[in-house]
Amino acid sequence: MAFYPSGIFKVDYASDEGLFPTPVIIRSSILFIIFLLILPWFLSSHMLYIMITMFIAVVGAVGLNILTGFTGQISVAHGAFIGVGAYTCAYFTQNLAMPIWISIPAGGILTALAGIFFGLPSIRIKGLYLLMATLAAQFFLADYLFVRWKSVTGGVGGFHVNRPAFPGIPGNPNLGIELYDDSRLYYLAMVVAVIAVFAAINIGRSKTGRAFKAIRDRDIASALIGIDVVRYKLMSFALSSFFAGVCGGLLAYSWKEISPPVFGLDVSIAYLAMIICGGIGSVRGAVLGAIFITFLPEGIMFIMNNIVIDLLPSWYNWGYLFSGLHAMMYGLVIVLFLILEPEGLNKIWINFRNSAKIWPFPYY
Amino acid sequence: MNKLNIENISLSFGGVKALKNVSFNVAEGELHAIVGPNGSGKTSLLNSISGFYRPHEGKISLDGENLLKLPSHIIATRGVGRTFQHSELFKASSVLDNIKLGRHIHYSKGIFSNLFYWGKTRKEETAARKEIEMEIIDLLELESVRKEPVGSLPYGVQKRVDLARALALKPEILLLDEPIGGMNREEREDMVRYVLDVHDFWDVTVILVEHDMSIVMDISDRITVLNFGQKLVDGTPKEIQSHPEVIRAYLGDGVSAESLSNSVKE
Amino acid sequence: MDYFLFLLITGIATGFVYALLALGFVVIYKATRVLNFAQGGLVMLGGYFCFTTLGQFGLHPLLAFSLAAIASITIAILIERYLLKPLIGKSLLSLVMVTIGLGSIIEGFAIALYGTDEQAMPEVLPEFAVSIGSVYIPSIYVWAIIISSILIVALFLFFKFSNLGIVMRAVSNNQPGALSMGIRVNHIFAISWILASLIALAGGFILGSISMMSPSLSIVIYPLFAAVIIGGLDSIPGALIGGLVIGVLQLLVAGYLGDLTGASFKTVFPFLILLLVLMIKPYGLFGTHEVERL
Ligand SMILES: Nc1ncnc2c1ncn2[C@@H]1O[C@H](COP(=O)(O)OP(=O)(O)OP(=O)(O)O)[C@@H](O)[C@H]1O
Ligand SMILES: [Mg+2]
């Protein structure tokens, strides 16, 4: 039986500004990380792959949340930005023989530059018009550049990348611990995801993040109190795209094969679905959303294969149902959350936590 | 010495001339009031100073530097703090975050340090928090609401948060756009006291836009009267009080009053 | 020269359809400030309604189109009632995302029901040969021009002279004002969705007849975006001009530069125009730029 203090009294401002409000949370965070560390031993190879995908999605979602959640700039180009990172990483590994600790940051930085470039319209336009500009970026990159710039991307035929080793040296990326096994890539993805989450939280609670949120809430007033709106908007594009680029690099290593369609508009929408169903503007929400959206297809497949398939009439082409569900699932998640729980999984989590705290004796 | 010089500025929106050839000076340390009927251009004047509107003619200089060439976020870094007539607070954020945003220009640690909070950023955040608590929250009596989202607070408190945010900038000149408008009597008295405290103890030059003549007469060093975008007069409260044009602008046109009584006779 | 003439005329025909569909955008945008990302899905769905009633049910065209119209209206009412109404007053992000979500739901439905294969729209419009010089124009293009222009004119008359049209304009100009006059603003929202979905039905039928029916018909939304951005989101003449310009340019580009740039250029090209317009004239040629105040 554990006793918790009835309240935590903060006696200085440093602790009030701190990240972990209670020792309980520190302890449970550490436990959670240990859990993640030993998890691979118990997972099937398929589940291992899903977990890796989930960590990678966390990086991307947390990144999109910086741009759309914090700064309020709606972007539908995240999928294409992830693609920029993926191709950069693949190219650095495969054609330039760069080690992983150069390729992944390079992917991030190049994508950040792309983000700044395609974010330039945000200097003059906002709202729906900016959304249009990001839509244009998405199509220009994924449907044109990736397809046509064959010498770098391999065009529609795709690009094959061998998984490098960790850490590797310039000239020989395969020196070190081999990552060919998913259980090793798991740890890389996990570490990157944890760093990404903490970086996003830190941004959110310091000067930069406050400026982002101010621009989201009221851009004119922000300028008048001394925030360089243009600079912070572009910074937000850069930072968010950096995350997207890192996410893309990890994806390239996880899949070992990339081609333009896997960075299409539906990927952008999937990431928007993550931050919306998680709860827009909150880092925890982005994480929860990434987890939810990663496991959603698994859940749907399970239900389909075990239940629905037997109920369908024999003349019906059930392949249609699969592709149909696949096409609509992100849209459905977005719509359902927006209507039923606009504050997303984050809100559900908070409600759950609050009621768990006082269980079994609620005050009412 | 003059803190702010406004020389012949004119501003129009389509056909509406919001400001016509307005000039006046604000001395260092002065509490300078701007009064005038609705639509006379008071807010437009403040917006021109803080760079949101750009007068097509004239010059606005602060400590000798022409503000009209500077983007508004740079103007803020020159020590121009302001409050707004209609709330421009970040409603979803807490009182504390609003005030921290007011201090934005004084945080020096950039994005890379911010990403890895522990270390320099943490030190800076803690120090700033301490200052904010001692200088602003304490002064404006906002302790009990510091973690509340601003949008959930009563109107009077929001006005105080607006002032707090402006003070967080450590302003050299403070532009207050109707800080006591729409408040009840008690809140007005508190707010006037805060403004006077800030003016006296912080050594700030204050430009105050206000409708309530009795308060303006009481507290200001100088008053500028605007009417239909033009400056009627400026001077000390005494000079203003007895000025015939001011009385006319505030009480209506004497001529038309005469013609009114004539038309009644006929 | 003949080739050019052919591309020009088919481009104009496509442009007329785009203009009509762009009007559907503008009608919703003006009334509700929602940019309907599901418009492409509605067009595709409209096409399938016709495909089903005409082809699968084999009904008389008049009956078939009426049935399709009823289905479209029902869908529009459901959308307005259950998706948009709960979000009134919510952020731009919510409003945009709900229509994006709706678009992919419609697409998923279509795939689940019809699969992804292309299917031919039954031919119910009388065929006739039109040739200009030695250029032969398939009659569906002529029909496209005729049907679209009739509907565009009808819409114009509706907004100009009918009671309801005038009320709708009032709502778009000044919503609080309209509310205080006792206008039921939410009925007007529903009606603008109905109008847009009927427009989409007509467009879906024409486009499905020009090419083939398939769920990917919904990508027509992209040239439409370019059209409305060129025109300005809230301008009806802008939508017409934008639609025509994009239709003609798209066919010319595909016709002349197709080999050079690859098929994907046809999809990307409207976006290049869109970006160009956004850079030079952010609020389009005719759109209004709302000045912000403090
Ligand atoms: N952004 C704008 N666009 C068009 N007209 C404007 C704009 N801002 C101000 N005006 C006009 O300029 C004139 C002066 O307005 P301003 O807001 O400066 O008056 P004010 O003295 O602050 O009035 P109040 O006492 O009502 O606050 C008014 O006629 C107003 O309608
Ligand atoms: Mg005013």
In this prediction, residue A198 carries a pLDDT of 93
Which residues touch C289 (CB under 8 Å, ≥6 apart)?
A: C282, C283
Is B255 a residue whose pLDDT tops 70? Answer: no
- Nearest CA residue ID for atom 12, ligand 1: B18
Q: How far apart are CA B175 and CA B165, in angstroms?
A: 12
pLDDT tens-digit series, residues C44-90: 999 999 999 999 998 999 999 999 999 999 999 999 999 999 998 88
Which residues touch A275 (CB under 8 Å, ≥6 apart)?
A: A61, A64, A65, A68, A69, A285, A286, A289
For helices C221-231 and C236-261, what crossing angle results, to 10°? 130
Lowest-confidence range among C150-154, C195-199, C278-282? C278-282
CB contact under 8 A, B111 and A235: yes
pLDDT tens-digit series, residues B135-188: 899 989 999 999 999 999 999 999 999 999 999 999 999 999 999 988 888 999
Measured between CB atoms, which of A19, A206, A226 is closest to B105? Answer: A226
pTM of the model as a whole: 0.92
Lowest-confidence range among A166-180, B15-29, C32-46, C242-256? A166-180
Q: Are B72 and B52 in contact (CB under 8 A)?
A: yes
CB contact under 8 A, B93 and A224: no
Which chain B residues are within 8 Å of C291, Cβ to Cβ? 13
Is C126 a residue whose pLDDT tops 60? Answer: yes
Q: Band the pLDDT of C261: cuts 50, 70, 90.
A: low
Which residues touch B49 (CB under 8 Å, ≥6 apart)?
A: B4, B6, B60, B67, B75, B80, B175, B207
Average pLDDT over residues A39-65: 95
Instruction: Provide the 3-class DSSP secondary structure of residue C115.
Output: coil
Which chain C residues are within 8 Å of B52, Cβ to Cβ? 294
Q: Are A88 and A106 in contact (CB under 8 A)?
A: yes
Query: What's the gap in Å between B177 CA and the centre of ligand 1?
Result: 13
- Residue B16 beta carbon below 6 angstroms from any ligand 1 atom: yes
Is B214 a residue whose pLDDT tops 90? Answer: no
Neighbours of B24 (CB within 10 A): 18
Would you say how long chain C is, in residues? 294
pLDDT tens-digit series, residues C231-255: 888 888 899 999 999 999 988 888 8
CB contact under 8 A, A211 and B104: yes
Query: What's the gap in Å between C144 CA and the centre of ligand 1?
Result: 50
Is B258 a residue whose pLDDT tops 70? Answer: no
Where residue B51 falls (left for φ over 0; alpha for ψ -120 to 50; beta otherwise) is: left
Lowest-confidence range among A164-173, A204-213, C110-119? A164-173
Closest approach of C108 to chain B, Cα-based (Å):
36
The pair of structure tokens assigned to C3 is 């080739």
Q: How far apart are CA C282 and CA A333, in angstroms?
A: 32
Which chain C residues are within 8 Å of A65, Cβ to Cβ? none
Measured between CB atoms, which of B52, B76, B125 is closest to A220? Answer: B52
Lowest-confidence range among A356-360, B9-13, B56-60, C139-143? A356-360
Which chain B residues are within 8 Å of A221, Cβ to Cβ? 84, 88-90
Is B265 a residue whose pLDDT tops 60? Answer: no
Which residues touch A46 (CB under 8 Å, ≥6 apart)?
A: none
Is B57 a residue whose pLDDT tops 50? Answer: yes
The domain ranges of chain C are 2-280
CB contact under 8 A, B101 and A227: yes
Counting atoms of ligand 1 from 1, which one is nearest the CA of C291? 1
Counting atoms of ligand 1 from 1, which one is nearest the CA of B41? 18
- Residue B224 beta carbon below 6 angstroms from any ligand 1 atom: no
Counting atoms of ligand 1 from 1, which one is nearest the CA of B211? 25
Higher pLDDT among residues B33 and B244, named by residue? B33
Average pLDDT over residues A288-305: 92
pLDDT tens-digit series, residues B74-117: 999 999 999 999 989 999 899 999 999 999 999 988 888 888 87
Instruction: Provide the 3-class DSSP secondary structure of residue C113.
Output: helix
CB contact under 8 A, A14 and B122: yes
Q: How far apart are CA B49 and CA C14, in angstroms?
A: 52
Higher pLDDT among residues A29 and A278, named by residue? A278
Alpha helices in chain B (DSSP H): 42-49, 72-77, 95-102, 111-115, 120-131, 155-168, 185-201, 213-219, 237-241, 244-251, 254-265
Measured between CB atoms, which of A19, A202, A222 is closest to B115? Answer: A202
pLDDT tens-digit series, residues C133-171: 788 889 999 999 999 999 999 999 998 888 888 888 888
Mean pLDDT of chain B: 88
Residue A274 carries which side chain, given as an amino acid letter? Answer: M
CB contact under 8 A, A148 and C104: no
Cα nearest neighbour of A208 on chain B: B111
Q: How far apart are CA A35 and CA C252, in angstroms?
A: 60
CB contact under 8 A, B104 and A225: yes
Cα nearest neighbour of C105 on chain A: A328
ipTM for this prediction: 0.91
Domains of chain B: 1-79+171-266 (3.40.50.300), 92-170 (no CATH)
- Nearest CA residue ID for atom 30, ligand 1: B39
Measured between CB atoms, which of A13, A218, A226 is closest to B104? Answer: A226
Average pLDDT over residues B226-253: 81
Which chain C residues are within 8 Å of A282, Cβ to Cβ? none
Q: How far apart are CA B88 and CA A22, in angstroms?
A: 34
Q: Are C137 and C131 in contact (CB under 8 A)?
A: yes
CB contact under 8 A, A334 and C274: no
Instruction: Provide the 3-class DSSP secondary structure of residue B12.
Output: strand
Closest approach of C109 to chain A, Cα-based (Å):
6
Cα nearest neighbour of C102 on chain A: A331
CATH classification number, C2-280, choose in 2.60.40, 1.10.3470, 1.10.287, 1.10.10 = 1.10.3470
**B&C contacts, CB < 8 Å:** 8
Alpha helices in chain A (DSSP H): 13-16, 23-38, 45-64, 78-94, 100-119, 128-138, 146-148, 150-153, 182-204, 207-217, 219-224, 229-255, 265-278, 283-303, 309-311, 318-340, 344-357
The pair of structure tokens assigned to A299 is 């859940």
CB contact under 8 A, C115 and A317: yes
The pair of structure tokens assigned to C251 is 């066919």
H/E element, C203: helix C185-210
Q: How far apart are CA C159 and CA C173, in angstroms?
A: 13
Q: How far apart are CA A229 and CA A219, in angstroms?
A: 7
Q: How far apart are CA A234 and CA A349, in angstroms?
A: 32
Q: How far apart are CA B136 and CA B99, in angstroms?
A: 9
Mutation pick from C111, C117, C260, C293 vs chain A, by most beta carbons of A within 10 Å, is C111
Closest approach of C270 to chain A, Cα-based (Å):
9
Q: How far apart are CA C108 and CA C116, in angstroms?
A: 10
Q: Band the pLDDT of C3: cuts 50, 70, 90.
A: confident
